[in-house]
């Protein structure tokens, strides 16, 4: 738990939440593609997509870009947390020997 706090626990938690959200959205989109939702629009942008008159293709493209941007924003803090946790575990393991 010390590694979690040492990494700036809030950043790591936020990164985990963002990556969880992205995973959920990717899973949802894959399920839609696999099961065939029957909808002509993905509806990812809701009212914004309707008001701006986005085509279904543009809406899908922009939603993918947003998901990639979220992953790129969250990945550095998450990787820092994972690497610090791993190195502290290794250090504790070597100290036991």
Q: For 32-79, how does the pLDDT look when each residue is reduced to its tens digit (9 = 90+)?
A: 777 776 555 566 677 777 788 888 788 888 888 888 898 888 888 888
- Please tell me the distance from the alpha carbon of residue 17 to that of residue 73, in angstroms, as a whole number: 12
Tell me the whole-structure pTM to 2 decimals: 0.62
CA distance linking residue 91 with residue 72, whole number of Å: 29
The count of residues in the chain is 97
Mean pLDDT of 69-97: 79
Q: Where are the beta strands (DSSP E) in the chain?
A: none
Given a cut of 60, whether residue 10 has pLDDT beyond it is yes
Within 13 Å, how many C-alpha atoms sit on residue 79's CB side?
Answer: 6
Note the pLDDT of residue 4: 41
């Amino acid at each position: 738990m010390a590694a979690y706090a040492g990494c700036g626990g809030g950043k790591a938690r936020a990164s985990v939440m963002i990556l969880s959200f992205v995973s959920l959205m990717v899973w949802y989109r894959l399920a839609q593609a696999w099961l065939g939702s029957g909808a002509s629009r993905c509806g990812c942008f809701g009212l914004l997509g309707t008001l701006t008159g986005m085509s279904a293709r543009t809406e899908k493209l922009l939603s993918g870009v947003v998901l990639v941007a979220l992953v790129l924003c969250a990945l550095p803090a998450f990787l820092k947390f994972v690497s610090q946790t791993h190195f502290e575990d290794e250090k504790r393991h070597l100290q036991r020997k």
